[in-house]
Amino acid sequence: MALTSILNGTITTDGTEQTVGSAQTTDASYTGYIDLTNNASGDTIVIRLKVRINSSDIVVIKDTFSGAQTEPLYHFPPLPSTENFVVTIEKTGGTNRAYDYRIMTL
């Protein structure tokens, strides 16, 4: 399988649940990274991965990170999706910060 980078950039949190990049609707397996280097003491973020089942986006993975990260590169495993694949980030505590990301297909 070929690995293809489809989205990369930076998202700055604003205290709401925000979509990282954009929702993906192509049939594929998706994987990617979010760089948590900017997370600092007092910061808490929640990352959610969602797939669509019967017209609803359902959380399949939810991870919470608090404070500075000693291993700051978050990786999510390949997840197949045939309708909608969404990665979100939400700042639930601390200061809004910028996070770099890259999403790929397999």
3-state secondary structure of 67: coil
Q: Model's pTM, two decimal places? A: 0.95
CA–CA separation, 34 and 86 (whole Å)? 14
Q: How many CB atoms lie within 10 A of CB 86?
A: 19
- Tens of pLDDT, residue by residue over 74-102, are 999 999 999 999 999 999 999 999 999 99
Rg of the chain (C-alpha set): 14
Spell out the residues 6+ positions from residue 92 whose beta carbon is closer than 8 angstroms to its own. 44, 45, 46, 64
| CB of 34 closer than 8 Å to CB of 91 | no
Question: Does 1 score more than 70 pLDDT?
Answer: no
